[in-house]
């Protein structure tokens, strides 16, 4: 496994990322500036080194979030993202919005160090309701939120207006 040390916490705990085979690596490969933002968050003690997910408000716009609030006026459709086996909810003619929030998921790499499992710009959100690992809050969250239309490549043969969950 190809691991890169992003930064070292004040207590000498290291934060790693697998740049090739992880969701975090794929996201950061398209937004390499996030490595510097992570380093700043560690130095300023805003990023906690603990297992699990956390949402951090950086205090400045760091990019665009794909997650948007929806209304009755939005045209909604569902489709499977490319190489995924679950449906996501999309809002037609809506676009990503600027965000100051960064969401991350950390796991233990070994007894002392952490690995960045996933990262994205925007708020923490639950998995889609039909994802195998979805939580109880997924359905209520995704009833009022969607992905911006242009945010993901989708499998066009799976597009439907009927909610699959």
What is the DSSP code string of 8-36? E-TTS-EEEEETTTSHHHHHHHH-THHHH
Nearest to residue 19, comparing CAs of 43, 35, 42, 40?
A: 35
Mean pLDDT, the chain, integer: 91
pLDDT of amino acid 93 = 86
pLDDT digits (tens, 9 = 90+) for 134-165: 888 999 999 999 999 776 789 999 999 999 98
User: Under a CB-based contact definition with an 8 Å cutoff, are residues 87 and 130 in contact?
Assistant: yes
- Provide the token pair at 125: 């959100």
pLDDT of amino acid 86 = 86
Burial class of residue 124, CB neighbours in 10 A (0-12, 13-18, 19+): middle
Beta-strand pair 52-57/14-18: unpaired
pLDDT of amino acid 133 = 83
**pLDDT of 75 over the 70 cut:** yes
Could you tell me the pLDDT band of residue 2, with boundaries at 50, 70 and 90? confident
């Amino acid at each position: 496994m190809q691991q890169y040390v992003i930064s070292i916490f004040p207590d000498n705990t290291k934060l790693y990322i697998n740049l090739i085979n992880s969701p975090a690596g794929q996201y950061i490969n398209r937004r390499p500036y996030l490595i510097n933002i992570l380093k700043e968050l560690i130095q300023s003690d805003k990023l906690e080194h603990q297992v699990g997910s956390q949402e951090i408000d950086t205090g400045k716009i760091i990019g665009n979030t794909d997650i948007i609030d929806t209304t009755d006026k939005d045209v909604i459709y569902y489709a499977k993202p490319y190489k995924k086996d679950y449906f996501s909810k999309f809002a037609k003619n809506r676009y990503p919005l600027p965000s100051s929030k960064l969401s991350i998921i950390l796991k233990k790499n070994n007894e002392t160090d952490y690995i960045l499992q996933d990262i994205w710009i925007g708020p923490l959100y639950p998995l889609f309701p039909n994802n195998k690992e979805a939580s109880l809050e997924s359905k209520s969250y995704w009833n009022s939120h969607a992905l911006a239309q242009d945010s993901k490549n989708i499998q066009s043969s799976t597009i439907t207006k009927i909610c699959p969950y």
